[in-house]
Amino acid sequence: MAKGDLMEKLFKYVSSVSAWTIISVFTVFFITIFYGSLDSIFYSGIKFIFISIWDPVKKIFGALPFIYGTLLTSLVALILAIPISLGVAIASSELLPSNLSKVLDPVIELMAAIPSIVYGMWALFVLGPVLRVYVEPFLNEYLGFLPLFQGTISGYGYLNASIILFIMILPIISSLSREAIRAVPNEIKEMTLALGGTEWEAIRMKISVAKRGIIGAITLGFSRAVGETMAVLLVIGNKPVISASLFSSGATIASILANEYPEAIADPLHTSALNELALILFLISLVINIIFIKLVRRRVGVI
Amino acid sequence: MGDIKLRVRNLDAWYGDNHVLKNINLDILSRAITAIIGPSGCGKTTLLRVINRLHETVPNARVRGEVILDGKNIYDPDVNPVEIRRKIGMIFQQPTVFPHLSIHDNVAIGLKLNGINDRELLDKIVRKSLREAGLWSEVEDRLWDRATDLSGGQKQRLAIARAIALEPEVLLMDEPTSALDPGATSRIEALMTNLKKDYTIIVVTHNIQFAARTADYIAFLFNGMLIEYGVAQEILERPKEKLTERYLLGEVDLERWL
């Protein structure tokens, strides 16, 4: 057997082992979390995800406030982030002169590289006071007819967490969408112009061609928001309550996990309940990804 | 000779400091195929892109001079370039489709961009254009499939269908067969001969055989200058300029004949 053949076999072998490693790690990960949450599953049953009381001392475990907090903060962050990051992506790939986007691009990458604890501290020391003194009173005065903007003003809670999540996912969605738009051949734009399309229609055509990549970028941003722990933990207030008000304190699954692990170690049921929360977080991410994959795989688009 | 469809007058074009077209004067005849030939970088494609005002969409690109379509200078300040591009269709060198659209919508897109949304009318024009482009029988049972699965030659005929759906007055083709195999090339050539009954066609090519087979008139461009222009057969058989002759003979180093 020639030496080349041996290398080829070795390479095939090594890469398939690597692929199986990923699958095994994933499986082990899932099984251990599932196993860890068995006690809690038997103890609380299906009520676990429907009860809104979380009281480890009285052994009442209801995950609803955390599921609510996770989805609420992530959704608000996403609603703020999608239009702005698409704007950034379109501007830097299509509209800005290249010397300006040469400055903008690295700034976006840098923003994505800042550790989340730094964002958390900024939200704690800067964003919180600003929200308390300016933003929340303003929202309360002019949009106070909405339940979202009623209640006690503190500067900390869902709104603060949502805004810091928005700032954190902004660079991810921006830079990935920008690359998706840049990957579309310029011919698409010229073809649209040559058919009597306007400049704006030509840019929109490029965006529709890049749609899959943009949806992928949004998925990643959403997953990041759902799983973000440290920054949220610092500003959300960590109270297991469900409130329609964005000014209210609350908690997310990730933040409560980080917050309660130290005290839960002494109580196996509490630990198991936290494991079940982790399992739910895992499933939420899975469902989000499946939904977005379905969106991407949809049949040929309409104009 | 037929009617003059398009007059190019004292035309200069630049990319930044690069002077790519120098004082071009050219009359394009109606319902005929005019081929623009010349070595790479001679300005052929730029000339095409000046005619449908696509040149100016590139940063730092400039034009001076006139392009007169049916008596109206398309570079007059009161002319909307979007309007001009609707009237002057273009086929690009790479057979490119809109990858997110079906075959049907790849043809309909130009009409939709121009505000036609009536489904029945769209379907009718799409069918007619695909027939004219000689693609109908190959795609009629998969109109709603994505266009990316078509072969290169089919994509190029789809591009032609897309352009003629708008019933343009002039069709510009930028090396339409250079990325195609011989079979697909001869289909496009036959199609072009057929289309010239209804359209004025200007085709850019560096392939002299292609020009000989399709063109009625040939313009030879070199270094941004129009060297010679006339009836295809005369240019090919009895070129008046030394430079044209050397180019047709396949000589690479043309500078010394200038």
Q: Which of A128-132, A270-274, B20-24, B55-59 has the lowest mean pLDDT?
A: B55-59
The model's pTM: 0.84
In chain A, the residue whose alpha carbon lies closest to the alpha carbon of B163 is: A195
A2 — pLDDT class (breaks 50, 70, 90):
low
What is the percentage of chain A residues whose pLDDT exceeds 90?
A: 85
Query: At a CB cut-off of 8 Å and minimum separation 6, what does A277 contact?
Result: A63, A66, A253, A256, A257
* CA dihedral sign of residues A281, A286, A287, A289: positive
Query: Which residue is associated with the tokens 């009597």?
Result: A196
Chain B residues whose beta carbon lies within 8 Å of the beta carbon of residue A300: 100-102, 105, 144-146
| Closest listed residue to residue B235, CA positions, set B254, B253, B211 | B211
Helix (H) or strand (E) holding A251: none
User: 3-state DSSP call for residue B146?
Assistant: strand
Query: Which residue is associated with the tokens 């809670």?
Result: A157
Amino acid at position B193, single letter:
T
CATH number for the domain spanning B32: value is: 3.40.50.300
pLDDT for residue A103 is more than 50: yes
- CB of B80 less than 8 A from some CB of A: no
| Closest listed residue to residue A107, CA positions, set A178, A163, A183, A165 | A178
Hey, what are B144's tokens? 């709603």
Mean pLDDT of all residues in A48-67? 94
User: pLDDT, tens digit, for every residue of B156-193?
Assistant: 999 999 999 999 999 999 999 988 889 889 999 999 99
What is the pLDDT at residue B251? 81
Distance from CA of B43 to the nearest CA of A (A): 18
Query: Which residue is associated with the tokens 């709104």?
Result: A159
- Which residue range forms the structural domain that includes residue B162? 4-257
Please list, residue by residue across A94-131, b when 16 or more beta carbons sit within 10 angstroms of its beta carbon and e when fewer do. bebeeeebeeebeebeebbeeebeebbbbbbeebbeeb
| Closest listed residue to residue A93, CA positions, set A108, A113, A110 | A108
What is the pLDDT at residue A52? 93
- CB of B114 less than 8 A from some CB of A: yes
Chain A residues whose beta carbon lies within 8 Å of the beta carbon of residue B52: 194
What is the pLDDT at residue B133? 92
A231 or A301: whose pLDDT is higher? A231
User: pLDDT, tens digit, for every residue of A187-211?
Assistant: 999 999 999 999 999 999 999 999 9
What is the pLDDT at residue A296? 77
Amino acid at position A229, single letter:
T
Chain A residues whose beta carbon lies within 8 Å of the beta carbon of residue B92: 187, 190-191, 194
What is the pLDDT at residue A161? 97
Hey, what are A17's tokens? 């082992």
A302 — pLDDT class (breaks 50, 70, 90):
very low
d(CA B132, CA A91): 40
d(CA B189, CA B177): 9
* A86 close to A210: Cβ distance less than 8 angstroms: no
d(CA B221, CA B232): 14
Mean pLDDT of all residues in A256-270? 92
Helix (H) or strand (E) holding B248: helix B242-248
Q: What is the 3-state secondary structure (H, E, C) of A276-303?
A: HHHHHHHHHHHHHHHHHHHHHCCCCCCC
Amino acid at position B122, single letter:
L
Inspect the interface and report whether the beta carbons of A196 and B85 lie closer than 8 Å. Answer: yes
* A92 close to A79: Cβ distance less than 8 angstroms: no
| Closest listed residue to residue B171, CA positions, set B55, B88, B51, B101 | B88
Report the Cα B48 to chain-centroid distance in Å.
6
Write phi, then psi, for B171 (nearest 5 degrees). Answer: -115, 125
Chain A residues whose beta carbon lies within 8 Å of the beta carbon of residue B167: none
pLDDT for residue A21 is more than 90: yes
What is the pLDDT at residue A3? 66
Q: Is A9 exposed, middle or buried (0-12, 13-18, 19+ CB in 10 A)?
A: exposed
Q: What's the structural domain count of chain B?
A: 1
pLDDT for residue A183 is more than 60: yes
Write out the E strands in B44-165.
61-69, 72-73, 88-91
Give the bridge partners for B8, in sequence order. B26, B67
Hey, what are A239's tokens? 């109270």
Domains annotated on chain A, with CATH: 64-297 (1.10.3720.10)
Average pLDDT of chain B, as a whole number:
93
DSSP string of B157-209, one letter each residue? HHHHHHHHTT--SEEEEESTTTTS-HHHHHHHHHHHHHHTTT-EEEEE-S-HH
Prediction ipTM score: 0.92
Select the residue of A187, A196, A198 nearest B166 (Cβ to Cβ).
A196
What is the percentage of chain B residues whose pLDDT exceeds 90?
A: 86
